[in-house]
Structure 1
Amino acid sequence: MTAEPAVLSLAPHVEDRLLPQLGAAGLLVVARPPAAGDAAEALTRLRPAVLIASAEPRHLDSPLLLAAAGAGAAVVVLAEGERGRRHAASLGVREPLDATVDAGDIRARIEQGLPAPQPPEETPDAARAPGRVTAVWGPAGAPGRTTTAIALASELAAAGLRVALVDADTVGAAVAPSLGLLDEAPGLAAACRLAAAGALTGAELDRVAQRYRCTRGELLVLTGIGRPARWPELSADRVTKVLEQCRSWADHTVVDTGFNLEADEEIVSDLFAPRRNAATIAAVRAADTVVAVGAGDPVGLARYVRAFGDLVEFVDPHRVHAVIGKVRQSAVGLGAGGQIRASLQRFGGIDEVTLVPADAAACDAALLTARTLPDAAPRSAATAALRRFAADHLIDRPARVPRRTPAVLRRLRPAAP
């Protein structure tokens, strides 16, 4: 039996199980790239006879299937559970194999002579609606922008969405160290360079993004610049183009921004020079929703009210949702929530606000273990508040049909006076 060259794009535990079996089944492994973007490059370069891929966003996407079709490779998809089968079906793969099969079953599927699946064409007229963009902003003083952005992105991923997390803070980018990711090659800077060259595509975003696996879902992370001196790479035009491309790459994009909204044209002689705060301003302007985060203490609230006026100069106030974190009686006094609401309404004209209780232990656990707040402390009151906010304001859900009260309960209700 002649060995056929094969490229693997498999989850590590599936690859470890199948790799010793493939040679005996007549399959010669010529590449084992770690992600779908690398696998697409391997298919184009090596033109193997077979692609074996796991039905997971990291290992199987539309660009990979297009590359397989271009290389004339037969595609065998291994799905793990209902989530994997749904992902395969969304890409046009109707009959994936179960991820527990052995190499003999894979060989049998190949010998059936099934054509490579045809993924949906990536055209502007595709039925898929553009993804949403949410910017998380807050004034100076560490009010919890990064913690909030990561937690909201995690909740969106847990809802089954394909979520991108973008670190656009040009002063103190913190998403990568918060999640334990390497940031020697910042993903957002790379995406901005590609956007400037007119070469930014979904496949390129897959290549420059890092994957972070949550307990329930996965985040596609474009890490921020490691040194603030690199801020000229994140110009307004480039960031705007990246976020526009993200709408077709992910269902929902969460952007962690900087604090400064000052337009600094008056302090430079070149009106066309890059601006230090351009990335933050471009992100809040491009976003469908802006989550404005403040700290629940007297100093934090004073900063918040002053900076909130600057924010609404760039953004329609109807797109802004106020979130006050680190709420605690020890800093505000008894009835902290009521006092904060009254202060924001009186001094800032802010009528609706979401309050997030302080939970230093939960936040410390998230930092210590490089996990999201929902993963590190799923029962935290802070996690519960952010989860409710995401469900109410960021996740589109169909209207629920009111359920009829069972007759037994209706009989138990007290009679109306």
Structure 2
Amino acid sequence: MATFALAMPVNLEDQFAFDAVHHGHEIVLRAVSAPELASRVAGAQVDIALVASEARYLTDRLIAACDQAGVRLIAVASSEREQRYASDLGLYGIVDAMTGWSAVDALLDQSQWSSEPETSARSTRGQVIAVWGPGGAPGRTSIAISIAAELAALGHSVALADVDTHGASVAPALGMLDEAPGFAAACRLAGTDTLTTDELARIGQRYESPVGGFWVLTGIGRPSRWPELSAERVGTTVAQCRQWVDYTVLDTSSSLENDEEITSDLFAPRRNAAAVTAVRAADHVIAVGGADPVGLSRFLRAHVDLLETVSTRSVSVVMNKVRVSASGMNPHGQVTQTLSRFGGIEHPILVPHDLAAFDGAVLSGKTLVDSAPRSPARLAVRDLVTSRLVPEVDESQPRRSVFKRMLARR
């Protein structure tokens, strides 16, 4: 049995209240508007809030109040316009009013409210890869997408999550819609202890590729929504992703400072908490920098903060956009020598500056694996994946025939 709070027009309220009681649940709170429900939900013993998908009954403030109180929020939509309204607010728990209580029951059956604890069929623990880089657009998102694509091309199940709270850009880079951010929705479910692998598959979007597709959890569309990605929720979501796929690639923001602890309350949300949590939870950290004088300076200064934050020894340095015009003759030697002399960094991965390939990938909404498989930048990322992240792939997988290898290249 679950306890419900209702906020909807009288006709819908009578219908759903009767069905809830008929199915053994209890109505403990009724409200006439979203502000009233938001102000009362914290003090009531409510498991689920069932509200109409209208501006009067569903607002950002109500979603935040339910998240803070640990109450699961379900919207009842009577039209396509109301469904779009709930989706624009980042809500995935949406049922059709015409379907009635059967839709609510189906949604509850997918969660932990009315079923036994989920037993995961996956016996192994997935790996988490965090892609980080300093400010100045060194190419974090491009490298994160390329890493996810290369892992998927090797036959692994992969999820790419956009954890950037300052400028999420995975969705537009892959030509996906991001009205309803998937990672924020996963964090919301994690806050109510209802996040499962089935929910992740429902929330995530699929990037399809003939070489190997992967899941995508899109980022927040507006930077002002960063409080939804708290440290606890991000940590719970990442832990659940380990049970979902073989590899989870996290595209993080650049800021790792904890200065907010000085100026805010101890329990106040912190904008950089998502990036810090992602980096600390990762098994492998990919540090991306720009291969030019300004980018190298920014990277070397911020790399110290990264080493003080990570909890893993597996940190690989990737210098992106290596080119003669910015580094002079022998750019590979110049960049390698600079990193070794001023940062003590040896054996970095150097990604050539292939502007045409990356522009073509963004224009078509594809990865380098699909749009420019012979690009030198793509080959450098593939070397990173096979040598640093999954070096055992050649030994653990049986050799394929010449015909199958030709098909894989195509």
1:191–1:316 CA distance, 2 compared to 1 (3 A): closer
Query: What pairs with 1:392-403 in structure 2 (closer than 5 Å)?
Result: 392-395=387-390, 397=392, 400=395
Map of 1:195 onto structure 2: 190
1:399–1:144 CA distance, 2 compared to 1 (3 A): closer
Distance 2:325 2:309 in 1: 34
Q: 1:171 aligns with which of 150, 166, 184?
A: 166
Q: 2:281 aligns with which of 274, 280, 286?
A: 286
Offset at 1:351?
Answer: 1.3
Distance 1:290 1:380 in 2: 24
Instruction: Report if aligned partners of 1:291, 1:322 keep a CA contact under 8 Å in 2.
Output: yes
Q: 2:342 aligns with which of 343, 347, 354?
A: 347
Distance 2:264 2:320 in 1: 40
Instruction: Report if aligned partners of 1:265, 1:271 keep a CA contact under 8 Å in 2.
Output: no
- Give the percent of matched residue pairs that are identical in Structure 1 and Structure 2: 55
Distance 1:173 1:352 in 2: 30
Map of 1:123 onto structure 2: 119
**In the alignment, structure 1 residue 324 sits paired with structure 2 residue 319:** yes
Q: 1:357 aligns with which of 335, 348, 352?
A: 352
Instruction: Report if aligned partners of 1:281, 1:314 keep a CA contact under 8 Å in 2.
Output: yes
Offset at 1:397?
Answer: 2.3
Distance 2:199 2:284 in 1: 26
Map of 1:205 onto structure 2: 200
What RMSD in Å do the two structures reach over aligned CA positions?
A: 2.5
Distance 1:310 1:230 in 2: 25
Distance 1:341 1:398 in 2: 27
**Aligned residue identity for 2:119:** T
Map of 2:210 onto structure 1: 215
SS in 2 for 1:173: coil
Instruction: Report if aligned partners of 1:264, 1:275 keep a CA contact under 8 Å in 2.
Output: no
Distance 2:368 2:167 in 1: 20
Offset at 1:322?
Answer: 0.2
Map of 1:101 onto structure 2: none
Query: Rg larger in 1 or in 2?
Result: 1
Distance 2:167 2:143 in 1: 15
1:303–1:317 CA distance, 2 compared to 1 (3 A): farther
Instruction: Report if aligned partners of 1:153, 1:219 keep a CA contact under 8 Å in 2.
Output: yes
Map of 2:40 onto structure 1: none
SS in 1 for 2:321: strand
Distance 1:235 1:261 in 2: 14
**Aligned residue identity for 1:323:** V
Q: 1:138 aligns with which of 108, 133, 142?
A: 133
Instruction: Report if aligned partners of 1:366, 1:373 keep a CA contact under 8 Å in 2.
Output: yes
Distance 2:317 2:296 in 1: 12
C-alpha offsets along residues 46-92 of structure 1, whole Å, 9 cap, x if unaligned? Answer: 9xxxxxxxxxxxxxxxx99xxxxx9xxxxxxxxxxxxxxxxxxxxxx
Instruction: Report if aligned partners of 1:147, 1:373 keep a CA contact under 8 Å in 2.
Output: no
1:129–1:344 CA distance, 2 compared to 1 (3 A): same
1:157–1:398 CA distance, 2 compared to 1 (3 A): closer
Map of 2:252 onto structure 1: 257
Distance 1:184 1:267 in 2: 34
Offset at 1:399?
Answer: 6.7
Q: 2:177 aligns with which of 174, 178, 182?
A: 182
Offset at 1:388?
Answer: 1.0
SS in 2 for 1:294: strand
Distance 2:237 2:361 in 1: 29
> Which 5+ residue runs of structure 2 have no aligned equivalent?
1-91, 94-98, 104-108, 397-410
Offset at 1:316?
Answer: 4.4
Query: What pairs with 1:364-403 in structure 2 (closer than 5 Å)?
Result: 364-395=359-390, 397=392, 400=395
**Aligned residue identity for 1:137:** W
What is the number of residues matched between the two proteins? Answer: 291
Offset at 1:123?
Answer: 3.4
**Aligned residue identity for 2:124:** A
Distance 2:393 2:198 in 1: 31
Q: 2:230 aligns with which of 227, 235, 244?
A: 235
1:127–1:143 CA distance, 2 compared to 1 (3 A): closer
Offset at 1:280?
Answer: 0.4
Query: What pairs with 1:79-158 in structure 2 (closer than 5 Å)?
Result: 123=119, 128-158=123-153
Distance 2:309 2:248 in 1: 19
C-alpha offsets along residues 195-220 of structure 1, whole Å, 9 cap, x if unaligned? Answer: 00000000111111111112311111
Instruction: Report if aligned partners of 2:185, 2:203 keep a CA contact under 8 Å in 1.
Output: yes
Q: What TM-score do the two structures reach when normalised by structure 2?
A: 0.67
**Aligned residue identity for 2:340:** Q
Distance 1:338 1:122 in 2: 53
**Aligned residue identity for 1:123:** T
**Aligned residue identity for 1:273:** A
C-alpha offsets along residues 93-113 of structure 1, whole Å, 9 cap, x if unaligned? Answer: xxxxxxxxxxxxxxxxxxxxx
**Aligned residue identity for 2:219:** G
Distance 1:258 1:296 in 2: 19
Map of 1:90 onto structure 2: none
**In the alignment, structure 1 residue 159 sits paired with structure 2 residue 154:** yes
Offset at 1:264?
Answer: 2.4
